[in-house]
């Protein structure tokens, strides 16, 4: 054996450098972001509970779940879009448009079932429109959905002539305020969406193909996966969930405001990213998205319970969103 071969053999056989404790902990939580998020959420709840014991009451915790449900449902839908390496900024405006549709159908004498089905159909059409334009023009979805965000918001204002729709039937409010299996209706819907979305993502071809497309679109095409179909499906799913959220929001407020949902964009994106969604595509968790939404709502509710002024709440929530996006960026750089 020559000297060069001996050196090469020695280098190959050299033991890997041990990782320090900080690196190991980081990699553990990077691999299981939902666990770290759950621990952080638990610590935050405990801190708020110590500072204000009433925060730990059952009613208070259920209120937090109700407040986070719409954000969580939208974050679950957005997770699918992010997984296929897409992004959608228009889901808030889609929610507002669907809310107007719900109000219009009900005021015209339609049933609750017809109103929610129509809202979901409009949401699905909005999602399909986003996907079609993005795929056909091959323009980054960030730009496309920025435009459709304004478009859908304008349509909602056009339908109502800029007015909020009042005088909706009491049956809607009664349904949204009811309980199913001892759970508030909104929380029950959220849990159903969470379970079905988890099964869709991890136990069906659609979900697995979405993960494959986000990981490597070219490889997915070579494997015979209809990438455009599944990308469109992710956007349509988000649109349908926006329709459901529009129905829920109208029921909670008792009116249909065309401007509903416009303040949800950053919290929903932050919830998805906090839950482990990779903005580059190929990774995401519906459970993580739900935990992310609950984390943000808990932070807001806890600060409100402590009578923290609203402007400080906005600063804290904004900082949490920035930290979440910064962590996701740093995580990508380490991969």
* 25 Cβ contact list (under 8 Å, min separation 6): none
End-to-end CA distance of the chain: 38
Average per-residue pLDDT in the chain?
86
Would you say 57 and 232 are in contact if contact means Cβ atoms under 8 Å apart?
no
% of the chain surpassing 90 pLDDT: 47
How far are the Cα atoms of 203, 283, 330 from residue 260, in angstroms, in the given order? 34, 30, 33
Beta bridge partners of 165: 256
**Residue 176 · residue 251 · CB < 8 Å:** yes
pLDDT higher for 15 or 141?
Answer: 141
Q: SS3 of 166, please?
A: coil
* pLDDT at position 17 over 50: no
Please spell the DSSP secondary structure of 296-307, one letter per residue: HHHHHHHHHHTT
CA-CA distance, 234 to 79, in Å (whole number)?
A: 9
pLDDT one-digit tens code per residue, 163-198: 888 989 999 999 999 999 889 999 999 999 999 999
- In the chain the beta strands, taken as DSSP E runs, fall at 179-180, 183-184
pLDDT one-digit tens code per residue, 235-288? 999 999 999 999 999 999 989 999 998 889 888 998 998 888 888 888 888 999
Q: Please choose, from the candidates 198, 330, 328, 331, the residue with its C-alpha nearest in 3D space to the C-alpha of residue 274.
A: 328
Q: Is the pLDDT at 11 greater than 90, yes or no?
A: no
For the chain, how big is the Rg over CA atoms in Å?
Answer: 22
- Which backbone phi and psi does 16 adopt, to 5 degrees? -65, 145
Global pTM value: 0.87
Residues 6+ apart with CB under 8 A from 129: 148
Residues facing 256 on adjacent strands: 165
Between the alpha carbon of residue 149 and those of residues 84, 177, 198, 235, 277, the distances in Å are 20, 30, 27, 14, 22
Residue pointed to by tokens 């972001």? 33
Q: How many CA atoms lie within 13 A of 31 on its CB side?
A: 6
Top-ranked range on mean pLDDT: pick from 116-130, 250-264, 282-296, 302-316: 116-130
How many Å is the maximal CA-CA distance in the chain? 91
Q: Give 15's DSSP letter.
A: P
């Amino acid at each position: 054996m020559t000297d060069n071969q001996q050196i090469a053999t020695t280098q190959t056989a050299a033991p890997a450098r041990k990782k320090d404790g900080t690196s190991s902990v980081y990699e553990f939580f990077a691999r299981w972001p939902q666990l770290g998020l759950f621990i952080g959420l638990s610590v935050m709840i405990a801190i708020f509970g110590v500072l204000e014991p009433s925060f730990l009451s059952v009613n208070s915790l259920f209120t937090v779940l109700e407040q986070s449900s719409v954000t969580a449902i939208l974050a679950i839908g957005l997770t699918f879009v992010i997984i296929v390496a897409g992004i959608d900024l228009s889901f808030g405006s889609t929610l507002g448009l669907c809310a107007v549709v719900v109000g219009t159908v009900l005021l015209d004498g339609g049933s609750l079932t017809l109103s929610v089905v129509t809202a979901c159909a409009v949401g699905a059409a909005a999602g399909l429109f986003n996907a079609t334009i993005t795929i056909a023009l091959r323009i980054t979805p960030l730009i496309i959905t920025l435009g459709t965000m304004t478009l859908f918001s304008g349509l909602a204002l056009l339908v109502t002539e800029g007015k909020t729709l009042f005088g909706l039937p009491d049956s809607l409010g009664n349904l949204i305020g009811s309980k199913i299996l001892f759970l508030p209706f909104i929380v029950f819907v959220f849990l159903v969406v969470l379970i079905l979305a988890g099964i869709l993502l991890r136990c069906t071809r659609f979900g697995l193909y979405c993960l494959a497309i986000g990981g490597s679109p070219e490889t997915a095409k070579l494997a015979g996966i209809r990438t455009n179909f599944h990308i469109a499906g992710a956007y349509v799913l988000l649109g349908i969930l926006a329709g459901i959220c529009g129905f829920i929001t109208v029921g909670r407020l008792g009116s249909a405001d065309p401007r509903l949902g416009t303040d949800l964009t950053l919290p929903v994106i932050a919830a998805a990213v906090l839950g482990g969604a990779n903005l580059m595509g190929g990774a995401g968790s519906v459970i993580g998205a739900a935990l992310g939404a609950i984390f943000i709502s808990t932070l807001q509710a806890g600060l409100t319970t402590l009578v923290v002024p609203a402007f400080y709440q906005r600063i804290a929530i904004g900082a949490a969103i920035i930290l979440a996006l910064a962590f996701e960026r740093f995580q990508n750089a380490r991969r």
